[in-house]
């Protein structure tokens, strides 16, 4: 449940870097996603046509503040996005480091406080820092989006222990792995760990067959969710025979 909205698909899909609008539309359809992210700052002269394409998908739009490097920039962009897309949902990004695209925790928290107070339903792109997560929730956010790895890196879940701790620390808060996912297996891993959704873009947009890759990610997210709900077996340090020893015939 994300701000009162129940979703059947747990895959959030980005809309940047696709070879063409037609391929983007195919990928969205193949993925089964119900939520697509859109960056207002990156729209070109054909913005109206792009918005028509997005509307035709029937998906819920999650505008984002990608490319913002200060709280003021992010707040202004969020205001514009609400006007353009008619939604209070906003994926809040405030970048603090040029090389890793790591979020600026101080500017992120400042912007979240302002936007939550103004009625926005904020999806903050954050790190796995527990204290920052608590502060964002105190500010009014009801969702957290920790990164798996730097945006566009495809490295997957770099800090497994930190992400597990975050999941355990916020058992009742929807957590979405955002950024760094490069393969369907990594998306499945995130869902197996109990995360509520996965957001990705580059791994699909830059694939040789974006629609095929989008379909694979949709299936992987579903498989990971099903596995988590079914209950994964615990890891063991020693072998454990699957065939019972007791009752076997003595052949010696």
Q: Is 152 annotated as a binding residue?
A: yes
Those residues whose C-beta lies under 8 Å from the C-beta of residue 160, and which sit 6 or more positions away, are 193
Q: Is 201 annotated as a binding residue?
A: yes
End-to-end CA distance of the chain: 60
Local structure of 63: helix, strand or coil: strand
Those residues whose C-beta lies under 8 Å from the C-beta of residue 92, and which sit 6 or more positions away, are 64, 65, 74, 78, 108, 111, 112, 115, 122, 123, 124, 125
Asked if residue 3 lies in contact with residue 121, where contact means CB atoms within 8 angstroms, the answer is yes
Instruction: Name the phi and psi angles at 106, rounded to 5.
Output: -75, -45
Torsion angle of alpha carbons 179, 20, 214, 190, nearest 10°?
0
Q: Is 100 annotated as a binding residue?
A: no
Q: Which member of 2, 18, 81, 91 is catalytic?
A: 91
Q: Is 202 annotated as a binding residue?
A: yes
**C-alpha angle 101/37/203, rounded to 5°?**
65
CA–CA distance, 72 with 88 (Å, rounded to integer): 18
Asked if residue 177 lies in contact with residue 1, where contact means CB atoms within 8 angstroms, the answer is no
**C-alpha angle 229/122/12, rounded to 5°?**
45
User: Annotated catalytic, 206?
Assistant: no
- Residues with catalytic roles: 91
Binding-site members for 1-deoxy-D-xylulose 5-phosphate are 152, 179-180, 201-202
């Amino acid at each position: 449940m994300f701000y009162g909205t129940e979703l059947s698909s747990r895959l959030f899909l980005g809309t940047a870097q696709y070879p063409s609008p037609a391929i983007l539309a195919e990928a969205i359809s193949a993925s089964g996603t119900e939520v697509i992210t859109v960056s207002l700052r990156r729209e070109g002269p054909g913005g109206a046509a792009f918005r028509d394409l997005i509307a035709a998908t029937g998906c819920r739009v999650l505008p984002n503040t990608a490319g913002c490097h200060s709280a003021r920039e992010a707040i202004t962009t969020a205001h514009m996005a609400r006007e353009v897309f008619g939604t209070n949902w906003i994926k809040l990004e405030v970048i603090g480091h040029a090389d890793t695209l790591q979020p600026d925790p101080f500017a992120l928290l400042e912007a979240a406080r302002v936007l939550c107070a103004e009625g926005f339903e904020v999806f903050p792109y954050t790190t796995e820092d527990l204290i920052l997560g608590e502060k964002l929730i105190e500010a009014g956010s009801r969702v957290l989006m920790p990164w798996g790895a730097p945006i566009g890196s495809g490295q997957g879940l770099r800090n497994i222990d930190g992400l597990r701790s975050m999941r355990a620390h916020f058992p009742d808060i929807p957590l979405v792995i955002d950024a760094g996912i490069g393969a369907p297996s990594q998306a499945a891993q995130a869902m197996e760990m109990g995360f509520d959704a996965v957001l990705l873009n580059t791994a699909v947009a830059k694939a040789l067959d974006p629609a095929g890759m989008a379909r694979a990610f949709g299936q992987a997210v579903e498989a990971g969710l099903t596995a988590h709900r079914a209950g994964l077996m615990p890891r063991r340090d020693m072998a454990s025979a699957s065939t019972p020893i007791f009752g076997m015939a003595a052949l010696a």
